[in-house]
């Protein structure tokens, strides 16, 4: 037990003490924590005296914070103790956040790094959207007027006493900003006004100004489902994803004046994988080519099934239709034999697609890097490159490919010089030499 009564554990670590859950709360607990794989249930026993379940729990590969039904707070911390996960988090714009919900409230702490960067990402995307111009659309409007406008609603008009004075109820289409696309953004910004840092509050007030003619309204689950995307409003999709996270999933409970605990579970492996693609693309575009792409999947008819996609590694570096290098994120402390076998399978599978002329994967580019976090072990010097022996030769005595291992020091993610140098070494070894 540490700060303010929080239970702190690291990924894959067992909880130091058993956790008690009332019998009537257990099914909700199981659905929200165990079935989602946020936690592992090691053992369950029932205390007949208190009618509670006594649980032995273990953390999984998620990091985050939440509260159990009986006001027990806990945090799951990264297994790499000096890892600057906050740097990874704030550099990834399209994270999928997992969260759990209980009707247990506590004061929201606006200074939380995760919360701060989540709000920053939302504001950045909203500013970018508004700078390109908000969307208008035609919307039906009903108005009492003495000037005929659109369609006269005769039934509604004659019910009113002022009908004899020439007042009509008219229905007409109005081209305006007050549409559901903009209303959702205004509601999310409005809810965050007093739950952000001073700088963020200033940005929120600025963003609300272009929305002054947009009505502030509540949203239900049905309203979220009503929003359909097409070529006219597709640019709203990313901002709306943040809005829905804030309003539908996190459910702060502003109307009641209370603050629900901010439950957030982040898939640490997923963050690490996405961050690798972000920094590789950023610095390779600087040092190698603006046309370079760092991708998760490959397109084309040979990659449109799950069976094919699972044979593609996390990182594919390419220009046009040519693969220059493969990579795979390994969020683990030790190298396993299975890592090498999996990497070899990636190389062989993509080579088969090359033989079908769907993708260009030449011999000199048949390399794959396994990216491990630097764990602080002397054997795993963050600047060292481990070269596995070549894969078995084929019938023509040709090398099928080579597997390498690189370590990224997660404690130095705020050091731009370190990151740029780290990526440039990869470019010099695998890209520049291969394309000269």
CA 48 to CA 71: how far, in whole Å?
A: 21
- Maximal C-alpha separation, the chain: 98
Q: Is the pLDDT of residue 158 over 50?
A: yes
Query: Do 123 and 250 reside in the same domain of the chain?
Result: yes
Does 345 fall in a domain?
yes
Which of 129-133, 295-299, 322-326, 371-375 is the least confident region? 295-299
Radius of gyration of the CA atoms of the chain, in A: 27
Does 303 fall in a domain?
yes
Does 185 fall in a domain?
no
Q: Of the candidates 209, 227, 262, which is a domain's last residue?
A: 262
Q: Which residue range forms the structural domain that includes residue 112? A: 103-135+194-262
DSSP 49: T
Query: Do 291 and 421 reside in the same domain of the chain?
Result: yes
CA 144 to CA 429: how far, in whole Å?
A: 74
**Taking the CB of residue 129, how many other CB atoms lie within 10 A of it?**
21
Does 426 fall in a domain?
yes
Enumerate residues 6+ apart whose C-beta is below 8 A from 98: 36, 38, 62, 64, 264, 265, 266, 267
CA 266 to CA 242: how far, in whole Å?
A: 15
Evaluated on CA atoms 360, 362, 365, 369, the torsion sign reads positive
Percent of the chain beyond pLDDT 70?
70
Does 411 fall in a domain?
yes
Query: Do 321 and 252 reside in the same domain of the chain?
Result: no
pLDDT tens per residue, range 108-149: 444 445 667 778 888 998 999 989 888 876 666 676 666 666
Q: For position 424, what pLDDT does the model report?
A: 92
Does 252 fall in a domain?
yes
Query: Do 312 and 424 reside in the same domain of the chain?
Result: yes
Does 366 fall in a domain?
yes
Tokens 């130091």 label which residue? 16
Evaluated on CA atoms 273, 277, 282, 288, the torsion sign reads positive
Tokens 């990526």 label which residue? 423
Query: Do 231 and 249 reside in the same domain of the chain?
Result: yes
- Where helices occur in 94-220 by DSSP H, the ranges are 113-131, 154-158, 180-192, 198-208
Which of 4-8, 258-262, 431-435 is the least confident region? 258-262
Does 407 fall in a domain?
yes
Query: Do 72 and 131 reside in the same domain of the chain?
Result: no
Query: Do 107 and 249 reside in the same domain of the chain?
Result: yes
Q: Of the candidates 262, 290, 306, which is a domain's last residue?
A: 262
Query: Do 291 and 371 reside in the same domain of the chain?
Result: yes
CA 425 to CA 436: how far, in whole Å?
A: 16
CA 227 to CA 33: how far, in whole Å?
A: 30
Query: Do 418 and 357 reside in the same domain of the chain?
Result: yes
Query: Do 299 and 379 reside in the same domain of the chain?
Result: yes
Q: Is the pLDDT of residue 391 over 60?
A: no
> How do the residues of the chain divide into helix, strand and coil, expressed in percent and rounded to 5?
40, 20, 35
Which of 17-21, 102-106, 193-197, 424-428 is the least confident region? 102-106
Q: Of the candidates 35, 61, 77, which is a domain's last residue?
A: 77
Q: What tokens appear for 181 in the block?
A: 């696309």
Tally of domains within the chain: 3
Q: For position 370, what pLDDT does the model report?
A: 92
CA 151 to CA 146: how far, in whole Å?
A: 13
Q: What tokens appear for 335 in the block?
A: 């190298």
pLDDT tens per residue, range 304-346: 554 555 678 889 998 888 889 999 999 988 888 888 888 888 8
Query: Do 415 and 398 reside in the same domain of the chain?
Result: yes
Full-model pTM: 0.66
DSSP 384: -
Are the C-beta atoms of 270 and 96 separated by less than 8 Å?
A: yes
Are the C-beta atoms of 318 and 293 separated by less than 8 Å?
A: yes
Query: Do 334 and 256 reside in the same domain of the chain?
Result: no
């Amino acid at each position: 037990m540490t700060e303010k009564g929080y239970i702190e554990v690291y990924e894959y670590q067992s909880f130091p003490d058993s956790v008690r859950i009332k019998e009537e709360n257990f099914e909700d607990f199981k659905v929200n924590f165990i079935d989602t794989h946020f936690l592992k249930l090691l053992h369950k026993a029932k205390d007949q005296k208190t009618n509670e379940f006594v649980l032995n729990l273990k953390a999984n590969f998620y990091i985050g914070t939440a509260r159990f039904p009986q006001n027990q707070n806990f945090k799951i911390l990264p297994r790499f103790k000096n890892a600057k996960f906050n740097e990874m988090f704030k550099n990834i714009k399209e994270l999928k956040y997992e969260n759990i919900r209980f009707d247990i409230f506590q004061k929201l702490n606006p200074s939380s790094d995760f919360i701060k960067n989540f709000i920053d990402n939302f504001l950045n995307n909203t500013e970018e959207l508004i700078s390109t111009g908000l969307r208008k659309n035609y919307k039906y409007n009903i108005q009492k007027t003495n000037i005929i406008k659109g369609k006269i609603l005769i039934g509604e008009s004659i019910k009113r006493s002022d009908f004899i004075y020439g007042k009509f109820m008219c229905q007409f289409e109005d081209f305006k900003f007050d549409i559901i696309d903009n209303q959702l953004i205004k509601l999310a910004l409005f809810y965050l006004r007093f739950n952000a840092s001073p700088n963020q509050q200033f940005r929120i007030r600025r963003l609300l100004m272009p929305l002054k003619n947009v009505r502030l309204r509540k949203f239900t689950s049905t309203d979220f489902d009503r929003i359909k995307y097409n070529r006219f409003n597709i640019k709203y999709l990313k901002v709306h994803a943040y809005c829905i996270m804030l309003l539908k999933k996190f459910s702060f409970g502003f109307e009641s004046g209370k603050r629900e605990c901010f439950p957030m579970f982040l898939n640490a492996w997923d963050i690490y994988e996405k961050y690798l693609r972000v920094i590789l693309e950023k610095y390779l575009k600087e040092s190698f080519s603006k046309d370079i792409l760092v991708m998760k999947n490959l397109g084309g008819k040979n990659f449109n099934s799950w069976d094919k996609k699972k044979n593609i590694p996390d990182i594919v570096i390419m220009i046009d239709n040519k693969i220059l290098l493969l990579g795979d994120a390994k969020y683990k402390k030790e190298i396993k034999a299975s890592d090498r076998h999996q990497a070899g399978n990636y190389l062989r599978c993509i080579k088969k697609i090359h033989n079908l002329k769907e993708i260009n994967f030449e011999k000199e580019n048949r390399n794959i890097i396994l990216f491990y976090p630097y764990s602080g072990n002397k054997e795993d010097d963050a600047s060292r490159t481990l070269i596995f022996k070549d894969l078995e030769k084929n019938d023509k005595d040709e090398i099928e490919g080579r597997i390498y291992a690189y370590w990224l020091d997660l404690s130095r993610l705020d050091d731009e010089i370190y990151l740029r140098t780290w990526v440039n070494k990869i470019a010099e070894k695998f890209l520049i030499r291969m394309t000269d």
